[in-house]
């Protein structure tokens, strides 16, 4: 009972089961469940901050024979972000769905997606990660298609097929690992891995699988239609959390588990793909005519920024410089999580009020929905990377590390990306502040608009101002505890 | 040194790659679903081959458990994909009317 | 050079399964492709048996070939338009992707040979054998699934739940079949009780012989599929409220037992000493029901209340 590791997984799952057998109370069950989960993840972060990495040996068996749940600072921080975003979007989703039948189907699936995210972040076993990836993938696909028409269904189906391919590639890598090293527990495996054919092939397979799920260019093409056509709260979760969870797995593999196996060239490959993602994604976001499509392409670009860190991290030796760069990476990931979810929720409000989300016809939004427009603006601030947002600090650190290592192309990429981001944000805001009657004010409760606002405030103010006190946690290198 | 394990492990790899190609290229959804199943079977075969310890020894039970889990996950995903495909076709036909 | 007879058999099986896999994917006629895939599944079951994995052989035969085959054939029956291409740019890009996957297979084969031939690893087999007496069962696969790595099975039941919830959310059920003629009706009268009893047997025997919750649940689902094919639209399943409870039963049993372990011994899913066997049976029984209802609903394909009857089937049979 004194172990916080199981609760972030169990609480949303129990809520999902209750929501399924008690559909009339499903919304209340969901909110309660998410509140409890939030408390559990705060507790978890607290314990990790005190003790360092935590481990829970499920079934009481030695990890290797059994499965262990593990959390270090990175996992705990992402878990907290996931719970905060999950709670805010749950609150929002409560008011979003009006059709009763749809609501009944929505809640259990929603809670199961949250369960999957948490199970993935806390898993310490490679095959268990495969199961969590499948759980996450299937629930994300179903939610993306829920209540939508042919367009949403087509995009979700493509997501499903690609997701399954990715999971199989991951599983193939896991099979190779077990065949060669005989153990699936990550902490037990780490000292055994050496640069050799099996490790390289397994890492490549697992990485390709994860890269599909984290939508790195050029494997990103499934994301914009899927995220743009999903219901707003689902899009928020998909862009902010699901893609981030896959990225977390990549971090765990490349920087922690397979660290001796990773080569600088491989890291460069990821870095350059990230650079391409930044440019391509930002450019497509600028060209997008719909708000949600713009937000989806922005996700592609922001994921690219995260990958820019890879060659820097592998080039630096272990020490304070590397820790600082890593902290910036985590800060950027967290900022994007909050900002993007806030953006999608705000976009959902606009779409509900205006009946559409075509950017060119959104004139008058600022007048009719001031809170929401403010949220959009703050999200834009965080995405561009303006002070005082966490995005600013992270990108600044990225730039100085690149200068320190003399990786000049990264400065160009950063500059171009930020300019393009500024362009698409200002384009949106100029339409919103323009004249017109794009978003008539229908009856709307502040509860609908508040979650978005709170989320983007986290991205801009909380993370920006709170980065310094949290820095120890942010920059703690990924390291899983060895023995229970 | 050719052994049963190696034969089936390599066959598993071949099936995995074969299915992968089909999953990306097959024109029909049903074909892609078939291909994903074939690819999955390949990975399962790889695992079971790694677990094999010859006609006399007992096999390693852990990969067997993993494959059993995998078989169930595969049938769930197949059922979902087929249901989604069917629903998509329904919607497309309605739109055509 | 004398080739070992077993190796020869293995080579033949390997080539055969590759040929079947290739043929089922290369066939332009989807119906033929599905049929070849079912044969592929049966051959896989044979290969599992050859590789001394009887639990897998059972599961593959029922789930991999049987239920998946039924799902695929049912999909073909309902949607003859399935042959329509459903994605962007599929022609012409074929050959380089084929080359790429060939290269992938080559790399994996090399890594594999490197591992298997020069660095064989005994894996967890010894640890499992050592811990088996405490696990409460004597079938090592069941021990791994329901004790050592029970958390995987727990999450996997959640995966099943998500899939069926998704299927139920997508729309009405598939068209029902017309009532069975005398042959099918007579056969099902015999088969159904046999399937149910065998399922119960598999559940019970899984503790010390090949079998267990998945095989038993899938067999029950097969019985439901048989009922539906014989014309009974609800496939013998109870009403919607009862169905929800049955769907969650497996996961709920895991949580209940797991929490008891957490409160008692300190770790989630840690079985108290001496109780392991009974608790495993309890969880497996609940899981069998959940799996059966899940797979049956997946076959039926949607919301029960709106089952259409397809026009062809409305004609009465002259028999």
Which chains have 3 or more CB–CB distances shorter than 8 Å to chain A?
A: B, C
**Domain finish residue from A205, A237, A262:** A262
Two structure tokens written together for A87? 């709670």
Which chains have 3 or more CB–CB distances shorter than 8 Å to chain B?
A: A, C
User: Helix, strand, or coil here: A123?
Assistant: strand
Question: Does residue C88 have a pLDDT over 60?
Answer: no
Among positive and negative, which fits the CA dihedral C237, C240, C244, C245? negative
- Inform me whether the C-beta atom of residue B93 falls under 8 Å from chain A C-beta atoms: no
pLDDT of res. C316? 40
- Whether residues A149 and B91 touch (CB distance < 8 A) is answered with yes
Residue C318's pLDDT band, with cuts at 50, 70 and 90, is very low
Model pLDDT for residues A194-203, shown as the tens digit of each residue: 898 899 999 9
Question: Does residue C86 have a pLDDT over 70?
Answer: no
Question: Does residue C5 have a pLDDT over 80?
Answer: yes
Locate the domains of chain C by residue range: 127-319
- Inform me whether the C-beta atom of residue A438 falls under 8 Å from chain C C-beta atoms: no
pLDDT of res. A481? 62
Contact A350, A439 (CB under 8 A): yes
Give B-chain residues touching A161 at CB under 8 angstroms.
23, 29, 32, 36, 81
Question: Does residue C93 have a pLDDT over 70?
Answer: no
Q: Which residues of A207-234 are buried (b: 16+ CB within 10 A; e: fewer)?
A: bbbbbbbbbbbebbebbbbbbbbbbbbb
Of A199, A312, A331, A308, residue with least CA distance to A257? A199
Contact A151, A144 (CB under 8 A): no
pLDDT of res. C172? 73
- Comparing C87 with A284, the larger pLDDT belongs to A284
Contact A173, A203 (CB under 8 A): yes
Burial (0-12, 13-18, 19+ Cβ within 10 Å), A176: buried
Give C-chain residues touching A129 at CB under 8 angstroms.
none
Question: Among all chains, which residue has been given the structure tokens 């079951």?
Answer: C45
Instruction: Report the chain C residue with the minimal C-alpha distance to residue B14.
Output: C105
- Whether residues A179 and C116 touch (CB distance < 8 A) is answered with yes
Locate the domains of chain B by residue range: 4-96
Helix (H) or strand (E) holding A208: helix A197-213
CA dist A462 and A392 (Å) reads: 13
**Domain finish residue from A224, A246, A262:** A262
Q: Which residues of C156-168 are buried (b: 16+ CB within 10 A; e: fewer)?
A: bbbbbbbbbbbbb
Alpha helices, DSSP H, located in B1-97:
4-25, 29-51, 61-96
Model pLDDT for residues A7-47, shown as the tens digit of each residue: 999 999 999 999 999 988 899 999 999 999 999 999 999 99
Mean pLDDT by 10 residues, chain B (97 residues): 87 95 91 96 96 88 96 95 90 80
Mean pLDDT, range C17-38, rounded to an integer: 94
CA dist A102 and C246 (Å) reads: 21
- Inform me whether the C-beta atom of residue B71 falls under 8 Å from chain A C-beta atoms: no
Give B-chain residues touching C167 at CB under 8 angstroms.
79-80, 83
Lowest mean pLDDT among A57-66, A231-240, C31-40, C119-128: C119-128
- Report the residue from A57, A116, A178 with minimal CB separation from C123: A178
Question: Does residue A467 have a pLDDT over 90?
Answer: no
Mean pLDDT, range A150-165, rounded to an integer: 94
- Could you say which DSSP state residue C232 is in? -
CA distance A388 to chain B (A): 44
Model pLDDT for residues C224-277, shown as the tens digit of each residue: 999 888 888 777 888 888 999 999 999 999 999 999 998 887 899 999 888 899
Residues A205 and A290 in one domain: no
Model pLDDT for residues A299-342, shown as the tens digit of each residue: 999 999 999 999 999 998 888 888 899 999 999 999 999 999 99
**Domain finish residue from A262, A285, A302:** A262
Average pLDDT of chain A, as a whole number? 90
Residue A443's pLDDT band, with cuts at 50, 70 and 90, is low
CA dist C291 and C282 (Å) reads: 14
Q: Say how many domains are in chain A.
A: 2
- Report the residue from A119, A157, A183 with minimal CB separation from C155: A119
pLDDT of res. C92? 55
pLDDT of res. C304? 57
Model pLDDT for residues A367-390, shown as the tens digit of each residue: 778 888 888 999 999 999 888 888
Alpha helices, DSSP H, located in A214-263:
223-229, 232-237, 243-251
Instruction: Report the chain A residue with the minimal C-alpha distance to residue B91.
Output: A150
Model pLDDT for residues A71-104, shown as the tens digit of each residue: 999 999 999 999 999 999 998 988 888 888 888 8
Q: Which overall architecture, per CATH, does domain B4-96 show?
A: Orthogonal Bundle (1.10)
Give B-chain residues touching A171 at CB under 8 angstroms.
40, 43, 70
Alpha helices, DSSP H, located in A362-478:
365-368, 370-384, 390-405, 408-433, 446-457, 463-466, 471-475
- HSE toward the beta carbon, residue C194, CA cutoff 13 A: 6
Model pLDDT for residues C171-190, shown as the tens digit of each residue: 777 777 778 788 888 888 89
pLDDT of res. A441? 60
Mean pLDDT, range C307-319, rounded to an integer: 44
- Inform me whether the C-beta atom of residue A230 falls under 8 Å from chain C C-beta atoms: no
CA distance B80 to chain A (A): 8
- Whether residues B88 and A157 touch (CB distance < 8 A) is answered with yes
Mean pLDDT, range C288-312, rounded to an integer: 75
Mean pLDDT, range C289-314, rounded to an integer: 72
Residues A106 and A226 in one domain: yes
Question: Does residue A444 have a pLDDT over 70?
Answer: no
User: Helix, strand, or coil here: A261?
Assistant: coil
- Comparing A462 with C251, the larger pLDDT belongs to C251
Size of interface B-C (CB pairs under 8 A): 260
Lowest mean pLDDT among A221-225, A436-440, C2-6, C27-31: A436-440
Of A338, A358, A354, A380, residue with least CA distance to A444? A354
Mean pLDDT, range C306-316, rounded to an integer: 45
Model pLDDT for residues C71-84, shown as the tens digit of each residue: 999 888 876 655 54
Domain that holds residue A289: 263-484
Q: How far is CA A375 from CA A224, A299, A381, A449, in A?
A: 22, 17, 10, 9
Question: Does residue A144 have a pLDDT over 80?
Answer: yes
Mean pLDDT, range A53-57, rounded to an integer: 91
Residue C54's pLDDT band, with cuts at 50, 70 and 90, is very high
Mean pLDDT, range C18-39, rounded to an integer: 94
Mean pLDDT, range C96-102, rounded to an integer: 85
A461 CB-near residues (< 8 Å, 6+ apart): A388, A389
Model pLDDT for residues A179-188, shown as the tens digit of each residue: 999 999 999 9
Mean pLDDT, range C269-287, rounded to an integer: 92
Q: What is the pTM of this model?
A: 0.94
pLDDT of res. C207? 92
Q: Which of residues 54-113 of C touch A (CB under 8 A)?
A: 86-87, 107-108, 110-112
- Whether residues B24 and C97 touch (CB distance < 8 A) is answered with yes
Q: Which of residues 121-140 of A touch C (CB under 8 A)?
A: 125, 127-128, 131-132, 134-135, 138-139
pLDDT of res. C83? 53
Q: How many CB atoms lie within 10 A of CB A409?
A: 12
Average pLDDT of chain C, as a whole number? 86
């Amino acid at each position: 009972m004194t172990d916080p590791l199981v609760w972030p997984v169990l609480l949303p799952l129990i809520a999902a089961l209750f929501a399924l057998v008690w559909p009339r109370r499903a919304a209340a069950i969901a909110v309660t469940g998410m509140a409890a989960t939030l408390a559990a993840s705060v507790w978890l972060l607290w314990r990790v901050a005190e003790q360092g990495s935590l481990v829970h040996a499920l079934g009481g068996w030695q990890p290797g024979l059994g499965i262990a749940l593990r959390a270090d600072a990175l996992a705990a921080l992402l878990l907290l972000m996931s719970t905060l975003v999950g709670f805010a979007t749950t609150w929002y989703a409560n008011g979003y769905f009006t059709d009763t039948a749809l609501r009944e189907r929505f809640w259990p699936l929603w809670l199961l997606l949250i369960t999957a995210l948490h199970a993935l972040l806390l898993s310490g076993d490679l095959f268990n990660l495969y199961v969590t990836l499948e759980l996450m993938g299937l629930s994300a696909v179903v939610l993306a298609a829920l209540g939508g028409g042919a367009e949403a269904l087509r995009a979700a189906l493509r997501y499903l097929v690609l997701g399954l391919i990715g999971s199989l590639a991951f599983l193939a890598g896991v099979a190779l690992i077990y065949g060669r090293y005989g153990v699936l527990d990550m902490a037990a495996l780490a000292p055994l891995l050496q640069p050799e054919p099996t490790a390289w092939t397994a890492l490549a397979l697992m990485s390709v699988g994860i890269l599909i799920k984290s939508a790195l260019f050029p494997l990103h093409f499934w994301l914009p239609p899927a995220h743009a056509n999903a219901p707003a709260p689902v899009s928020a979760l998909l862009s902010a959390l699901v893609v981030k969870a896959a990225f977390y797995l990549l971090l765990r593999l490349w920087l922690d588990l397979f660290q001796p196996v990773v080569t600088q060239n491989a890291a460069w490959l990821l870095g350059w793909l990230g650079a391409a993602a930044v440019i391509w994604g930002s450019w497509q976001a600028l060209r997008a005519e719909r708000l949600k499509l713009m937000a989806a392409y922005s996700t592609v670009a922001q994921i690219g920024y995260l990958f820019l860190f890879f060659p820097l991290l592998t080039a630096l030796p272990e020490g304070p410089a590397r820790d600082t760069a890593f902290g910036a990476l985590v800060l950027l990931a967290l900022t994007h999580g909050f900002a993007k979810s806030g953006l999608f929720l705000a976009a959902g409000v606009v779409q509900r009020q205006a009946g559409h989300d075509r950017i060119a016809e959104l004139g008058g939004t600022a007048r009719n929905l001031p809170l929401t427009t403010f949220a959009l603006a703050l999200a834009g601030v965080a995405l561009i990377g303006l002070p005082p947002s966490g995005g600013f600090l992270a990108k600044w650190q990225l730039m100085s590390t690149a200068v320190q290592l003399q990786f000049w192309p990264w400065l160009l990429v950063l500059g171009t990306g930020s300019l393009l981001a500024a362009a698409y944000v200002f384009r949106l805001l100029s339409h919103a502040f323009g004249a017109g009657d794009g978003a008539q004010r229908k009856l709307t409760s502040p509860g609908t608009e508040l979650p978005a606002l709170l989320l983007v405030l986290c991205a801009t103010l909380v993370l920006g101002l709170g980065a310094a006190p949290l820095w120890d946690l942010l920059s703690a290198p990924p390291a899983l505890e060895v023995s229970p | 040194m050719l052994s049963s394990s190696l034969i089936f492990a390599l066959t598993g790899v071949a099936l995995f790659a074969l299915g992968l190609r089909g999953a990306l290229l097959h024109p029909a959804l049903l074909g892609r679903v078939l291909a994903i199943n074939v690819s999955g079977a390949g990975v399962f075969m790889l695992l079971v081959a790694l677990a094999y310890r010859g006609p006399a020894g007992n096999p390693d039970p852990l990969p067997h458990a993993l494959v059993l889990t995998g078989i169930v996950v595969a049938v769930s995903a197949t059922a979902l994909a087929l249901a989604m495909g069917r629903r998509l076709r329904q919607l497309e036909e309605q739109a055509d009317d | 050079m004398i080739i070992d007879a077993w190796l020869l058999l293995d080579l033949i099986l390997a080539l055969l399964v590759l040929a079947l896999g290739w043929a089922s994917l290369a066939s332009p006629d989807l119906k033929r492709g599905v049929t070849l895939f079912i044969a592929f599944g049966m051959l896989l079951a044979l290969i599992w048996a050859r590789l001394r994995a009887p639990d897998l052989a059972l599961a593959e035969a029922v789930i991999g070939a049987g239920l998946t085959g039924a799902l695929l054939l049912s999909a073909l029956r309902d949607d003859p338009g399935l042959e329509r291409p459903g994605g962007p740019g599929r022609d012409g890009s074929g050959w380089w992707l084929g080359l790429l996957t060939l290269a992938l297979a080559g790399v994996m084969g090399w890594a594999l040979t490197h591992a298997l031939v020069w660095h064989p690893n005994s894996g967890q087999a010894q640890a499992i054998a050592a811990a088996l007496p405490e696990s409460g069962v004597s079938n090592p696969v069941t021990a791994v699934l329901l004790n050592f790595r029970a958390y995987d099975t727990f999450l996997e039941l959640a995966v099943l739940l998500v899939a069926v919830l998704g299927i139920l959310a997508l729309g009405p059920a598939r068209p029902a079949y017309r009532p069975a003629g005398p042959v099918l009706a007579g056969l099902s009268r015999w088969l159904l009780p046999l399937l149910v009893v065998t399922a119960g047997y598999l559940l019970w025997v899984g503790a010390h012989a090949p079998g267990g919750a998945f095989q038993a649940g899938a067999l029950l689902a097969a019985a439901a599929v048989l009922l539906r094919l014989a014309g009974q639209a609800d496939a013998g399943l109870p009403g919607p409220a009862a169905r929800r409870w049955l769907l969650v039963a497996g996961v709920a049993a895991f949580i209940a037992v797991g929490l008891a372990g957490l409160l008692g011994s300190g770790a989630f899913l840690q079985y108290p000493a001496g109780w392991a066997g009974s608790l495993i049976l309890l969880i497996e029984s609940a899981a069998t029901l959940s799996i059966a209802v899940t797979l049956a609903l997946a076959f039926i394909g949607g919301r029960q209340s709106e089952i259409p009857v397809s026009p062809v089937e409305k004609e009465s049979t002259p028999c």
